[in-house]
Amino acid sequence: MLRENLKSQLVRARSREVNDISHRIRDVGFKCMKYGWCCCPDPEFEIEILDIHRPSNAISVLPRDIRAIQDATGCNLLDVVEPDIYSCIRGEKMLSTGWILKRKHDGTCMFFDDDRNLCTIYEHRPLICRVFPFFLDGSGMLEVRHCCGTHQQMEGMDALESGQRLVRYLTSTIEHYIAICEGLGDELDMDKLCQARLEDGLMLRVFDGETESIGEYSDGAGFQMVQD
């Protein structure tokens, strides 16, 4: 059922009118002020989904985003991402349905340079960071998230590129969710959706729609792979 819904959403997403979305983006207006608010956790803006409190900067990334960062930086997988502990399925072994960008101890994105207030992988940053603060909801309505750069004058070409990226982001994420549904089958029971409690010795399986990894969490070393 979930898979069929996603497939219908994908058909609709592919037919979204980019010009229309771009006009709406231009009407709002945006220019990044580069203060890095979206790269750092803000407790005032935690997102609550089904009783799960997701930090404002728990940034889900697609496998292709991860590959692009790894190719550009030479980093290992676990230097780039950590399991998305906010989207897990409870079972015999906790199952995470993907990755989020790795964060430092203070919760800030691993790739944010606090001293210079900039993204150190700007040219290779994930698609979600490129579309922020704009998103499209299931019915194609433009959502504008909290951001200090909105309501700034915007060139038509920038709005058009932003609209194109937004449609690409929407179709890519739906394709990604379909791959997760197809890979997990009945195991993807949304009634069992939960947040993993990080505790020493927690075994976590991660399936990102393409590959599966098994790792263990420890207080001292974070998440370490035991099998992939």
Which residues are CB-contacts of 75 (< 8 A; sequence separation ≥ 6)? Answer: 69
**Cα gap 158→191, rounded to integer Å:** 41
User: Can residue 33 be called a binding residue for ligand SF4 (CB under 6 A)?
Assistant: yes
**SS3 label, residue 94:** strand
State which of residues 129, 170, 178, 181 lies at the interface with ligand SF4 (CB under 6 A): 129
State which of residues 28, 75, 144, 148 lies at the interface with ligand SF4 (CB under 6 A): 148
User: Can residue 132 be called a binding residue for ligand SF4 (CB under 6 A)?
Assistant: yes
State which of residues 52, 142, 147, 184 lies at the interface with ligand SF4 (CB under 6 A): 147
Shortest spacing between CB 62 and ligand SF4, in angstroms: 13
**SS3 label, residue 182:** helix
Say how many residues touch ligand SF4, by CB under 6 A. 22
**Cα gap 160→21, rounded to integer Å:** 8
Shortest spacing between CB 88 and ligand SF4, in angstroms: 22
Q: In whole angstroms, how far apart are CA 35 and each of 2, 151, 174? A: 38, 16, 30
User: Can residue 62 be called a binding residue for ligand SF4 (CB under 6 A)?
Assistant: no
Give the tokens for residue 225.
């792979």
State which of residues 68, 88, 89, 119 lies at the interface with ligand SF4 (CB under 6 A): 119
E strand or H helix at 222: strand 222-227
What residues between 86 and 105 interact with ligand SF4 by CB under 6 A?
101
Q: Shortest CA distance to 2 belongs to which of 198, 181, 170, 164?
A: 181
User: Can residue 135 be called a binding residue for ligand SF4 (CB under 6 A)?
Assistant: no
Interface with ligand SF4 (CB under 6 A) = 32-39, 59, 101, 109, 111-112, 119, 121, 125, 129, 132-133, 147-149
